[in-house]
Amino acid sequence: MFEQLENMDEVAAMLLVLLWGIAGYRVGRLVFRPSRQKLRKSARRSLRFIWFCALAVAGRLAVAGYMTSYGWDYGSNRMILAVPLLVLPFAATLALSVPALRAIAAAEPGDADAPTTPGQRSAAAAPRLVIPVQTTAIGALLGLYVVFVARPVPPYTRYLIGLWGVLAVGTAVLSLRQRMRQAAQGAGAARRPRLWARMVRFVGTVAAVALGLSGTLSYAQSASRLPGKLAMDSSPMDWGGGPKAMAGMAMDHSGKSVRTTSVTNLTGDISGTPDESFTLTAKDSTIRLASGKIIHGMAFNGRTPGPELRVHEGDLVQVKLVNHLAGRRAGVTLHWHGLDVPNAEDGVAGVTQNAVQPGHTFTYRFRPHQVGTFWYHSHQDSFEEVTHGLYGALVVLPRSGRPQGLDMTVLAHLWPTANGVRTAALGTSDRLQRRTVAPGTRVRLRLVNTSSLESGETEPTSFTLTGAPFTVSAIDGTDLNKPTPLRQARLLIGEGGRDDLTFTMPDHPVRLSDLQGSASDLVLRPGGTGDGTRGSMNWPAFDPAAYGSPASTPFGPHSHFDRKFKLIIDDRPGYYDGKFYFLPTINGKSFPHIPMLMVRKGDLVEQTFVNRGHAGHPMHLHGHHALVLAHNGKPVTGSPWWTDTLYIQPGESYQIAFRADNPGIWMDHCHNLEHATMGMVMHLAYEGVSSPFDIGRDTGNKPE
């Protein structure tokens, strides 16, 4: 919805440039009307046209106002920058140009066919008639620049000065020209400049504009190129309103100064003999979907998705990663998505380790302290590698008690099956798959969304479960409090996110559908026939903010926050690393220019996300779980909702909070991984922690 308003506003902005451009041109030419009759007619037409333009202004104001009704952050750039640039010159048009035009239109014709008098020409060329209209056109053009190109975020001071400066200079130049024209025409001197002169001027202007534009673009392109090697600590920092560390030093929460620590030392206690050991070998692989479609992809241990790792809470888990990928630049890592492991085990190339090159190995060790549904994936070249198969499920079971009934993971994925075409599948099944389950069985479906959506999507993947009332028992690996049964609900699971669905098997089929695909459904049935029915995109979206019952939480909306970060998500056309995209941005910036969110161990940290862009983004913070405090300004009323991957649609805002209790340098990025490759990546960094690793094309490390 919001993105439609935005599109409307942009169309209106373009239309205004066109309309006011025409209006400005028309009033500029009034003076060249050969006869009194024609001058009057033309003035009348111009007036009518200006009223029409006024309607467009009103329309634009209405749309911009409506956008602002979502919250000031959604419309402030329009209200502060674009709208005044349009409305003030427009007011001048009403006050000055319209009366002047009226006077001309109402003048006694006398001899209608007689040529205009010097006095009439002087009135028609008066700057006070012409300039306000033309200035409105400039204002409209600058407004278009604001909403379509620059899309500034506060503070707006720099833009206010720049834009009004351009408007003032433009107006001054036009006034000067108009005054000269008025003097010439009033004296009865030259009529219109000759055709060839006008042609030359026109071609010259177009050439100058084209030259300026292409110069600006190629400058922007080369300026966007990333350095071949980039260290994490070269990024700017945002201290979120909390205390800053002194240069070269860091402090702990009690104010004592501490030495800086390398991320490689942040391993947690990993001594002893592993309780559970796995080896994951990455290899190129031809992946065949159920329909026969082929993906030239990659796999762990020759399986797609990779082997499911089931481990127990508190156990020492060891996973040895072996890289047998072919190709010079085919590094790989393992990241434990949603599991808040110590930083050294987080598996992010260029941040917590170097990418593991072909022929090499790396061993991860950690003790999981959360129980629930997680997944693992490569965090080197992750858009490529995850999309092409380097991922698998990771389930942490409680220390005691075995899962009852049927406990299965379902990994929904979008496979790149042919040039640009992507096929939705559950695992590798893009066809209906059936499984026999005895009635009365307790079923837990651990649904993981491992996809990355197309760039411009506004909603995450929708899933439905039909045939039995079910509960959403856990989100992002965290149990919900007293979830209640659902029917006809559409579950929106952000890319990277997880929902655990539980129900009791009835005596008829239950069907899980990924509505993104046409047939990637799973039917559980007690035997016999029947496939149940698919859910519908028209079903209401499940709202985790009002589901289940409240329970006590370690902090809440009224807690005192040590740091507050406001993150405005937007997008605009632009270059990133030399390529042109419709770029997603955070506070107007892309990696590595988005400041690192700086915290101190023990801090309570608030993040507010506001999405005023055209696309939705599943934002994923590593190493921490955040409590959702409010959605669109409304406090969460149901069960505490902890998340690690939060989907934010256009027009939505979320206030979330987490305790900074896991020192390190942590990625915080969009899990529509293509967006990460376009720079939608920031980092949460603890003061006093440094990374010896580098990112960039010369380093072999490319986490996105």
Q: Which of residues 388, 525, 600, 620 is near ligand C2O by CB under 6 A? A: 620
Judge contact between 101 and 49, C-beta under 8 A.
no
CB closer to ligand C2O, 378 vs 502: 378
Shortest distance in whole angstroms from residue 675 CB to Cu ion:
3
Residues 473-532 binding Cu ion (CB under 5 A) are none
413 binds ligand C2O (CB under 6 A): no
When asked if residue 670 is in the footprint of Cu ion (CB under 5 A), the reply is: yes
Distances (CA, A) of 655 to 123, 289, 631, 646: 59, 40, 7, 11
Backbone φ and ψ for 41, nearest 5 degrees, come out as -60, -45
- Residue 672 interface partner, choices Cu ion, ligand C2O, none, CB cut-off 5-8 Å depending on type: Cu ion
Among 75, 496, 613, 664, binds ligand C2O (CB under 6 A): 496
Q: Rounded to the nearest whole angstrom, what is the least distance from the CB of residue 372 to ligand C2O in the complex?
A: 15
DSSP result, 662-695: S-SEEEEEESSHHHHHTT-EEEEEETTEE---EE
Cβ atoms of residues 100 and 126 within 8 Å: yes
What's the burial of 418, exposed, middle or buried (CB within 10 Å: 0-12/13-18/19+)? exposed
Given the complex with Cu ion, which of 472 and 583 has the nearer CB atom?
583
Cα–Cα distance between 649 and 459 in angstroms, integer? Answer: 6
Q: Pick from 667, 684, 685, 695: which binds ligand C2O (CB under 6 A)?
A: 667
Tell me the residue number closest to ligand C2O, measured at CB.
337
Residue 85 binding result from Cu ion, ligand C2O, none, given CB thresholds of 5 to 8 Å by partner type: none
Q: Say which residue the tokens 């003030």 belong to.
A: 88
Stretch that binds ligand C2O, among 105-113, 326-334, 629-637, 667-675 (CB under 6 A): 667-675
> What three-state secondary structure class fits 424?
strand
Would you list the DSSP string of 242-269? SPPPPTT-EE-TTS-EE--EEGGG---S
To the nearest whole angstrom, how small is the minimum distance from the Cβ of residue 621 to ligand C2O?
9
Q: Which is nearer to ligand C2O, 230 or 443 (CB)?
A: 230
Of the candidates 672, 677, 691, 701, which one interacts with Cu ion according to CB under 5 A?
672
Query: What is the chain's percent helix, strand, coil content, to nearest 5?
Result: 30, 30, 40
- Should residue 622 be labelled a site residue for ligand C2O when binding is judged by CB under 6 A? yes
What do you get for the CA distance between the two ends of the chain, in Å?
Answer: 30
Q: Is residue 377 involved in binding ligand C2O (CB under 6 A)?
A: yes
Selected from 33, 379, 566, 683, the binder of ligand C2O by CB under 6 A is: 379
Residues 84-113: x where in contact with Cu ion by CB under 5 A, - otherwise, as a string: ------------------------------
Sheet holding 317-323, edge to edge: 294-300, 276-288, 317-323, 361-366
**Rg, Å, the chain Cα set:** 31
Element (H, E) at 579: strand 579-586
Binding span for ligand C2O by CB under 6 A among 88-96, 149-157, 455-463, 664-672: 664-672
> In 60-187, at which residue ranges do the beta strands (DSSP E only) sit?
none
Query: CB under 5 to 8 A by kind: which of Cu ion, ligand C2O, none does 670 bind?
Result: Cu ion
Site string for ligand C2O, 319-358 (x = CB under 6 A): ----------------x-x---------------------
- Binding residues for Cu ion, rule: CB under 5 A, are 617, 670, 672, 675
Which residues of this protein are in contact with ligand C2O, per CB under 6 A?
Answer: 335, 337, 377, 379, 496, 620, 622, 667, 669, 671
